[in-house]
Chains A and B, each alone.
Chain A
Amino acid sequence: MMTSPQVSSDNVIEVTGLYKHFDQVCAINNLSFEARRGVTTALLGGNGAGKTTTIAMLLGLLLPSSGKIRILGENMLQHRYRLLHRMNFSSPYVDLPQRLTIRQNLTVYGHLYRLPQLKQRIEELAEALNLSKLLDRKYGQLSAGQKTRVSLAKALLNEPELLLMDEPTASLDPDTADSIRTYLEQYQQRTGASILLASHNMAEVERMASDVIMLRQGQVVDSGSPQALIEQYGRTNLEEVFIDIARHKELN
Chain B
Amino acid sequence: MAAQDVHFSIRRIGAVALRHLYLMRSSWPRVLEMVYWPTVQMILWGFITLFLQNNSSFIAQASGVLLSGVLLWDVLFRGQLGIALVFMEEMWSRNLGHLFVSPLRPYEMVASLLLMSLIRTLIGIGGATLIAIPLFHYNIYDIGLPLIAFFLNLIVMGWAIGLIVSGIVLRYGMGAESIAWVSVFAIQPLCAIYYPVAILPSWLQPIAWALPASHVFEGMRELLLHHTLNIAHMQWAALLNILYLGIGIAIFLGYFHTARKKGLLLQVGE
Q: Could you tell me which A residues sit within 8 Å of B by CB distance?
A: 22, 52-53, 56, 59-63, 81-82, 84-89, 91, 94-101, 104, 107-109, 111-116, 121, 138, 154, 158-160
Decide if B173 is an interface residue (CB 8 Å cutoff): no
Inter-chain contact B2/A94, CB cutoff 8 Å: no
Report the 5 A-B pairs with minimum CB-CB distance, sorted nearest first. Answer: A111-B15, A159-B1, A114-B3, A94-B97, A112-B102
In contact, B263 and A95 (Cβ under 8 angstroms):
no
Interfacial chain A residues near B16, Cβ < 8 Å: 108, 112
Which of B5-13, B115-123, B176-184 contacts the other chain? B5-13
Q: Can you list 12 contacts pairing A with B, beta carbon distance less than 8 Å?
A: A22-B262, A61-B97, A62-B266, A81-B105, A95-B95, A97-B23, A98-B93, A100-B19, A100-B23, A107-B18, A112-B104, A114-B103
Whether the pair A115, B3 counts as a contact (CB closer than 8 A) is yes
Q: A88-B101, A94-B94, A114-B9 are in contact. Are A108 and B19 (CB under 8 A)?
A: yes
Residue of B nearest to A139 (CB): B93
A59 proximity list for chain B (CB < 8 A): 101
Q: CB-CB < 8 A to A109: which residues of B?
A: 15, 98, 102
Chain A residue nearest to B98 in the complex (CB): A94
CB distance from B147 to the nearest CB of A (A): 34
Query: Please, which residue of chain A has its CB at the minimum distance from the CB of B12?
Result: A112
Contact flag A62-B260 (CB < 8 Å), given A97-B23, A108-B18:
yes
Contacting residues, chain A, for B14 (C-beta < 8 A): 111
From known contacts A61-B100, A97-B23, infer whether A113 and B2 are also in contact, taking CB-CB under 8 Å: yes
In the complex, how many angstroms separate the beta carbon of B260 from the nearest chain A beta carbon? Answer: 5
Question: Chain A contact residues: over half helix, strand or loop, or mixed?
Answer: mixed
Given contacts A22-B262, A100-B23, contact A86 B97 (CB under 8 A): no
Residues on the B chain within 8 Å of A53, using CB? 263
Q: Say whether B52 faces chain A, with CB atoms less than 8 Å apart.
A: no
- In the assembled complex, the Cα of A56 lies from the Cα of B100 at a distance in Å of 11
Whether B23 and A111, one on each chain, are in contact in the complex, defined by CB atoms closer than 8 angstroms, is no
Contacts of B28 in A (CB 8 A): none
A113:B94 contact, CB within 8 angstroms: no
Q: In the bound complex, what is the Cα–Cα distance between A70 and B47 (angstroms)?
A: 66
Asked if B54 is at the interface of the complex by the 8 Å CB criterion, the answer is no
Whether the Cβ atoms of B2 and A86 lie closer than 8 Å is yes
Residues of A within 8 A of B27 (CB): 99
Docked-complex contact B260 and A95, CB < 8 angstroms: no
Chain A residues with Cβ below 8 Å from B174 are none
If A112-B15, A158-B1, A159-B1 touch, whether A63 touches B261 (CB-CB below 8 Å) is: yes
Tell whether, in the assembled complex, residue B3 and residue A85 are in contact, meaning their CB atoms are under 8 Å apart.
Answer: yes
In the complex the two chains form, is B98's CB within 8 Å of A114's CB? Answer: no
Whole-angstrom CA separation of A116 from B14 in the bound complex:
15
Set of chain B residues within 8 Å of A60, measured between Cβ atoms: 100-101, 260
Rounded to whole angstroms, the CA-CA distance of A122 and B78 in the bound complex is 35
**Which residues from 1 to 43 on chain B have a C-beta closer than 8 Å to any C-beta of chain A?**
1-3, 5-7, 9, 11-12, 14-16, 18-19, 22-23, 26-27
